[in-house]
Amino acid sequence: MRPQEIIAVKRDGGELSREHIDAFIAGVCDGSWADYQISAMVMAMFTRGLNPDEQNALTFAMLHSGEVLDLSDIPLPKADKHSTGGVGDKTSLIIAPILAACGIAVPMISGRGLGHTGGTLDKLESIAGYDVNLTTDRFRRIIETCGFAMSGQTADIAPADKKLYALRDATATVPYIPLIVASIMSKKLAEGLDALVLDVKTGSGAFMPNIEDSIRLAEAMVQTGRNFGVRTEAVVSEMGRPLGRYAGNICEVYECVKILRNEPLELAEPTRELSIELAARAIVLAGIENDLVSARSLAEAKLGSGAAYERFAENCRLQDGNIDSIPTSDPFAGKGLSTLEIKAERSGWLETADALAIGEAVVAIGGGRVHAEDGIDFEVGFECFAEVGSEVREGDLLGVLYSRTVEDAECVSEKLRGAYKISETPVTPSPLVSGIV
């Protein structure tokens, strides 16, 4: 069938067969479908919808458009965590070493930040020398040696998604759940996992700001994981405010290392708590513990004993990262950065520290990227000084932006001040985890 005939099926509201979808994905990969035909097809999918069978067939075809890792010769359960992305969302750097220390192999393939959400690869690359461009062979050897490896998506993993995502981005067809599910799950399922924990964010800084949409996305991803034989669970977690103390790159690595080394750090507790929660769920799904209470204790013990930190340090060495380049105290000190202090304009209770506005401010000063090809300034970022729900007095410091120049900070000062709202009455912050699927 010619591309236009397959497009017409969906344009007219019909159901695509597995053969139609296989032909579409084959055409995306071998270049026989032109960009305008691919774009027309995703727009037809977006407007007419995909039923669960079509969504599964699309995920399957995208997954098999490239290599599916076979790690069966590593005699450990394989598990991973994937987050839909947020501001200050840094838990991967804590969860992977915890799981590795528990005897789980973690083949973590991550992405870069785009827009206001940060990316694990950028955070890792803020460690001097850290190599995220691993060949499959090296990726496998690092997992065998230290239990986890963290790499970018190679050209062989779900190549159809790379092309489709770029065209969806350019044609306003990203925010449709079946397309998102096929995109994310085709990449995650290519890791050859036994178990997968999804952290679906909700709130202003999330990809799906609205809780109902976040739950629907979580349900669809969990069902897809299970359809493909992977034990999958999702946690819906709060992203109306940044996670933990820092948002940026090397500053976030610093926060993770403080947690991995059991060193006190104010306002970092939500990062630690969410990391333990997600790790514990992966530990149960991987069959290492039978229940969450024991799994949480095991995750805590691996942090407490320093076993997780040892795995992190070993991984850094194996991926050519210089662990000594990670700051051991204030991550912004001595870099000649300008500071913009955000102070409470009145006394009351902190009601909002808007993750979207804070994330956008970090991008605007160079700590994130607007276009996929943009470079990143790893040293700039934002530091939170007050938690949502806490009582503040007029003039108290709420947060500080660290930028390369005063002019950079001035451009976002209004946005950042608008990110904070203070209530005259006590505020109960929304819970860190609002649902489990």
* Residue 174 binds ligand URA (CB under 6 A): yes
Size of the site for ligand URA (CB under 6 A): 7
- Is residue 82 annotated as a catalytic residue, yes or no? yes
In the three-class reduction of DSSP (H, G, I as helix; E, B as strand; rest coil), residue 127 is classed as coil
Catalytic annotation, pick one of 10, 78, 82, 123: 82
Which CB atom, from 152 or from 399, has the smaller least distance to ligand URA? 152
Which of these segments, 5-13, 176-184, 364-372, 405-413, binds ligand URA (CB under 6 A)?
A: 176-184
Report in angstroms how near the CB of residue 174 gets to ligand URA at its nearest. Answer: 6
> Which token pair is 197?
């924990």
Binding residues for ligand URA restricted to 186-225, rule: CB under 6 A: 207
Listed as own residue / partner, the contacts of 135-140 with beta carbons closer than 8 Å and 24 or more positions apart are 136/67, 136/69, 139/69, 139/107, 140/69, 140/71, 140/74
Report in angstroms how near the CB of residue 167 gets to ligand URA at its nearest. Answer: 11
Strands 348-353, 391-392: pairing is antiparallel
Angle at 91 between CA 87 and CA 96, to 5 degrees: 150
Binding residues for ligand URA restricted to 381-410, rule: CB under 6 A: none
Determine which residue in the list 183, 224, 315, 403 makes contact with ligand URA, applying CB under 6 A. Answer: 183
DSSP string, 24-63: HHHHHHHS-S-HHHHHHHHHHHHHH---HHHHHHHHHHHH
Report in angstroms how near the CB of residue 207 gets to ligand URA at its nearest. Answer: 6
- Is residue 70 annotated as a catalytic residue, yes or no? no
* Residue 319 binds ligand URA (CB under 6 A): no
Report the C-alpha gap between 422 and 285 in whole angstroms.
41
List Cα–Cα distances, 378 to 3, 123, 126, 270, 436, in angstroms.
44, 8, 6, 23, 33
Catalytic annotation, pick one of 10, 116, 168, 311: 168
- Is residue 131 annotated as a catalytic residue, yes or no? no
Which of these segments, 4-12, 151-159, 173-181, 289-297, binds ligand URA (CB under 6 A)?
A: 173-181
Which CB atom, from 65 or from 315, has the smaller least distance to ligand URA? 65
- Is residue 161 annotated as a catalytic residue, yes or no? yes
Report in angstroms how near the CB of residue 121 gets to ligand URA at its nearest. Answer: 13
> Which token pair is 95?
């969860």
* Sole residue written with tokens 């009455």: 425
**Alpha-carbon torsion 134, 135, 138, 139, what sign?**
positive
Which CB atom, from 422 or from 437, has the smaller least distance to ligand URA? 437
* Residue 180 binds ligand URA (CB under 6 A): yes
Closest CA to 94 of 81, 113, 103, 78: 81
- Is residue 371 annotated as a catalytic residue, yes or no? no
Which of these segments, 143-151, 179-187, 396-404, 419-427, binds ligand URA (CB under 6 A)?
A: 179-187
Which residues are 114's β-sheet partners?
A: 117
Catalytic annotation, pick one of 116, 187, 281, 302: 187
Which CB atom, from 23 or from 157, has the smaller least distance to ligand URA? 157
User: Of all helices (H) and strands (E), which one includes residue 383?
Assistant: strand 381-384
Catalytic annotation, pick one of 80, 89, 161, 194: 161
Contact 186, 53 (CB under 8 A): no
Catalytic annotation, pick one of 83, 183, 186, 237: 183
x/- track of binding to ligand URA for residues 153-172 (CB under 6 A): ------------x-------
Q: In what order do the strands lie in the sheet with 348-353?
A: 391-392, 348-353, 420-423
Closest CB to ligand URA belongs to which residue?
183
Report the C-alpha gap between 101 and 105 in whole angstroms.
9
Contact positions vs ligand URA (CB under 6 A) = 165, 174, 179-180, 183-184, 207
Q: Catalytic residues, which ones?
A: 82, 161, 168, 183, 187
